[in-house]
C-alpha cells in the first residue's frame, strides 16, 4: 500500500491512483482486521480498523497530506533538546520563562 502512495507520480490519471490505492488498502484492512494474533493490543488495533479502516486509506488519497508526523516533530525539537540539556525547571516562574524564551526563538526562526 505504501509503495502505491510513494509511487503516486507513476499513474497517468488520478482516478487510476485512487483505484489501485483502494484495492491495496482493502487488502491491507482485511488482513489487519482478521489475520491478527490473539493479544489484547492486537485485537484493539483490529477493532480500530473495523471501525475506521476506510478513513485511514482515504486520507492518503489527498495530495499534500504527509504520511509521517515529521514536520510536527521538527517543530518541537528545539524545545525537547533544551529541556533535556537543562534538565527542565522546578518552579512555575522558570517554566514560564522557558516557554516565553522558546516562543521567541520559534518566532524569530
Residue length of the chain: 109
Indicate yes or no: pTM above 0.85.
Answer: no
| pLDDT one-digit tens code per residue, 37-71 | 999 999 998 898 888 877 777 776 666 666 666 77
Helix (H, G, I), strand (E, B) or coil at 73: helix
Report residue 24's pLDDT band, with 50, 70 and 90 as the boundaries: confident
Q: What is the pLDDT of residue 83?
A: 74
Round to the nearest angstrom and report the end-to-end CA distance of the chain: 36
32, 46 contact by CB (below 8 A) = yes
Q: What is the pLDDT of residue 41?
A: 92
Amino acid at each position: 500500500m505504501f509503495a502505491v502512495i510513494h509511487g503516486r507520480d507513476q499513474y497517468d490519471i488520478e482516478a487510476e491512483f485512487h483505484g489501485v490505492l483502494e484495492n491495496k488498502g482493502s487488502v491491507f484492512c482485511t488482513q489487519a482486521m482478521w489475520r491478527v494474533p490473539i493479544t489484547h493490543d492486537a485485537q484493539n488495533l483490529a477493532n480500530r480498523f473495523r471501525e475506521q479502516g476506510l478513513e485511514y486509506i482515504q486520507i492518503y488519497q489527498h495530495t499534500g497530506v504527509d504520511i509521517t508526523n515529521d514536520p510536527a516533530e521538527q517543530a518541537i525539537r528545539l524545545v525537547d533538546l533544551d529541556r533535556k540539556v537543562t534538565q527542565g525547571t522546578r518552579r512555575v516562574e522558570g517554566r514560564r520563562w522557558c516557554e516565553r524564551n522558546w516562543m521567541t526563538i520559534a518566532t524569530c526562526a
